[in-house]
């Protein structure tokens, strides 16, 4: 109740008047009442009432926070976080080497950035993830839906159909091998039409549409609460042209990153961004670095860089808070994103696995 008037989320003109009239704390405002307030600072009674309602709402939020309830600030112990992290699902990529270096797959509530030269497979991975997020829980997935925000126009439905068909077939094979009741039940809803209907696609042609869409995302996600993945394919493309004012670009990108972090946490979903590469001209040579500048490097929690080595595609885990830097090779087949060789049979007996949701790695009948 000792909150200062200057910190309340009222209109600036109103705040200025209150300060000029000598009000200092929120309690004083509440004690004065709407009629007294309107007379003292010369506003209408309705406006005074609105202002007092805002003040009351703020003070209630404050009181809840000081009383230790989980209000707007999330407070919990590291032990609670550990338990949460262990039960959290990962979105698998169907390339077990990549899943391994990521620690299980693409993590929920974190922002993962994929950088790479054109044609190396970033959009393929995004389409694969948009299908994999929908894998039912009994097969080790998170049973969620996906939002795909496309700024480059590289989303091809036919390719998603191929990837989804391969995924459904893979799950059928597992179900036949294991013959469990819930597998068969889950497979009834895990069909091609369902997968495609749960990928929500937005095509943003410039950065304003992208900003607008991200502002509207929280509302969309509350309506579609099963969404567990937000993909923004091409975060760099709309920001790389028509920007004379680079400081504005940095500000907009930082704002975007913050909103995405909030979305990832509030709705327990993974956010995947793809970035382009640009050339940095050094003294004697030029190197390929991720686009959008140094400051954008802080936005993502996990950074993957895809690159070529002769004709082999490689993925390097460049930045991660919990896994070490490593490089693996991957393949893009007609079924989607895959390992270079089929995974070994010993994977099925992983006793060190603490995550009960992880799909047991059975011997894959090769497609």
Partner 1 sequence: MAAKKLRRAQLSQEMCERLSRYQITTCQDFLCLSLLELMKVTGQSYYEVQKLLCKVSRACAPKMQTAYEMKQRKSVNPSSAFLSTTLHSLDRVLRGGVPCGSLTEITSPPGCGKTQFCIMVSVLATLPVSMGGLDGAVIYIDTESAFSAERLVEIAANRFPAYFDSDEKLFCMTSSIHLYRELTCCSVLKRIMSLEEEIISKKVKLIVIDSVASVVRKEFDTKLQGNLAERSNFLTRGASVLKYLAEEFSIPVILTNQITTSLSSGPMIQADLVSPADDLSLSE
CB of 108 to partner 1, least distance (A): 21
Of 44, 86, 279, 295, the one binding partner 1 (CB under 8 A) is 279
Query: Which is closer to partner 1, CB of 161 or CB of 329?
Result: 161
Q: Decide if residue 6 touches partner 1 (CB under 8 A).
A: no
Say if residue 68 is exposed, middle or buried (CB neighbours under 10 Å; 0-12, 13-18, 19+). exposed
Q: Decide if residue 277 touches partner 1 (CB under 8 A).
A: yes
Query: Which is closer to partner 1, CB of 174 or CB of 260?
Result: 260
Q: Decide if residue 237 touches partner 1 (CB under 8 A).
A: yes
Residue span binding partner 1 (CB under 8 A) among the ranges 21-29, 32-40, 175-183, 203-211: 203-211
| Dihedral sign, Cα of residue 158, residue 196, residue 107, residue 217 | positive
Q: Decide if residue 77 touches partner 1 (CB under 8 A).
A: no
Q: Decide if residue 76 touches partner 1 (CB under 8 A).
A: no
CB of 86 to partner 1, least distance (A): 32
Of 24, 100, 213, 250, the one binding partner 1 (CB under 8 A) is 213
CB 103 within 8 A of CB 323: yes
Of 31, 215, 340, 341, the one binding partner 1 (CB under 8 A) is 215
CB of 262 to partner 1, least distance (A): 13
Question: Whole-angstrom Cα distance, residue 256 to residue 290?
Answer: 17
Q: Decide if residue 153 touches partner 1 (CB under 8 A).
A: yes
Give the chain as a 3 state SS string.
Answer: CCCEHHHCCCCHHHHHHHHHHCCCEHHHHHHHHHHHHHHHHCCCHHHHHHHHHHHHHHHHHHHHHHCCCCCCCCCCCHHHHHHHHHHCCEECCCCHHHHHHHCCCEECCCEEEEEECCCCCHHHHHHHHHHHCCCCHHHCCCCCEEEEEECCCCCCHHHHHHHHHHHHHHHHHHHHHHCCHHHHHHHHHCCHHHHHHCEEEEECCCHHHHHHHHHHHHHHHHHCCCEEEEEEECCCHHHCCCCCCHHHHHHHHHHHHHHHHHHHHHCCCEEEEEECEEEEECCCCEEEEECCCCHHHHCCCEEEEEEEECCEEEEEEEECCCCCCCEEEEEEECCEEEECCCCCHHHHHCCCCCCCCCCCCCCCCCC
Q: Decide if residue 208 touches partner 1 (CB under 8 A).
A: yes
Question: Whole-angstrom Cα distance, residue 365 to residue 337?
Answer: 16
Residue span binding partner 1 (CB under 8 A) among the ranges 104-112, 175-183, 193-201, 351-359: 193-201
Of 251, 262, 345, 367, the one binding partner 1 (CB under 8 A) is 251
Residues 123-152 that bind partner 1 (CB under 8 A): 130, 148, 152
Query: Which is closer to partner 1, CB of 26 or CB of 174?
Result: 26
Q: Decide if residue 175 touches partner 1 (CB under 8 A).
A: no
Of 19, 212, 340, 344, the one binding partner 1 (CB under 8 A) is 212
Q: Decide if residue 56 touches partner 1 (CB under 8 A).
A: no
Q: Region of 329 please: left (phi>0), alpha (psi -120 to 50) or beta.
A: beta
Q: Decide if residue 296 touches partner 1 (CB under 8 A).
A: no
Q: Decide if residue 5 touches partner 1 (CB under 8 A).
A: no
Query: Which is closer to partner 1, CB of 198 or CB of 359?
Result: 198
Query: Which is closer to partner 1, CB of 255 or CB of 360?
Result: 255
Of 281, 310, 311, 354, the one binding partner 1 (CB under 8 A) is 281
Residues found near partner 1 in the complex (CB under 8 A): 9-14, 51, 54, 117-119, 130, 148, 152-154, 157-158, 160-161, 193, 195-209, 211-213, 215-216, 219-220, 234, 237-238, 240-242, 248, 251-252, 255, 276-279, 281, 284-285, 288
């Amino acid at each position: 109740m000792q909150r200062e008037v200057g910190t309340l989320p009222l209109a600036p003109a109103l705040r200025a008047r209150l300060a000029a009239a000598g009000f200092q704390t929120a309690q004083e405002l509440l004690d004065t009442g709407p009629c007294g307030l309107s007379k003292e600072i010369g506003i209408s009674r309705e406006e005074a009432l609105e202002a007092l309602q805002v003040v009351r709402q703020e003070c209630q939020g404050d009181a809840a926070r000081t009383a230790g309830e989980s209000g707007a600030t999330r407070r919990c112990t590291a032990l609670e976080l550990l338990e949460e992290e262990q039960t959290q699902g990962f979105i698998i990529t169907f390339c077990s080497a990549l899943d391994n270096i990521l620690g299980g797959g693409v993590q929920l509530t974190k922002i993962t950035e994929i950088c790479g030269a054109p044609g190396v497979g970033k959009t393929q991975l995004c389409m694969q993830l948009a299908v994999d997020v929908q894998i039912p829980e009994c097969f080790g997935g998170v049973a969620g839906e996906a939002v795909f925000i496309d700024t480059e126009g590289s989303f091809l439905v036919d390719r998603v159909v191929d990837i989804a068909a391969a995924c459904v077939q893979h799950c059928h094979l597992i179900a036949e091998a294991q013959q469990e009741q819930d597998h068969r039940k889950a497979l009834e809803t895990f069909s091609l039409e369902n997968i495609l209907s749960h990928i929500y696609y937005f095509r943003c042609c410039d950065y304003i549409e992208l900003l607008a869409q991200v502002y509207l995302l929280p509302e969309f996600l509350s309506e579609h609460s099963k969404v567990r993945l937000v993909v923004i394919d091409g975060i760099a493309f709309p920001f790389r042209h028509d920007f004379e004012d680079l400081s504005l670009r940095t500000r907009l990108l930082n704002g975007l990153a913050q909103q995405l972090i909030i979305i990832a946490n509030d709705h327990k979903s993974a956010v995947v961004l793809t970035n382009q590469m640009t050339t940095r001209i050094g003294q004697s040579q030029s190197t390929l670095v991720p686009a959008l500048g140094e400051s954008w490097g802080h936005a993502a929690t996990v950074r993957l860089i895809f690159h070529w080595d002769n004709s082999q595609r490689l993925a390097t885990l460049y930045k991660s808070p919990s896994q070490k830097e490593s490089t693996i090779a991957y393949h893009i087949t007609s079924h989607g994103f895959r390992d270079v060789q089929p995974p070994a049979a010993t994977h099925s007996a992983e006793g060190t696995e603490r995550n009960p949701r992880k799909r047991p790695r059975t011997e894959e009948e090769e497609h």
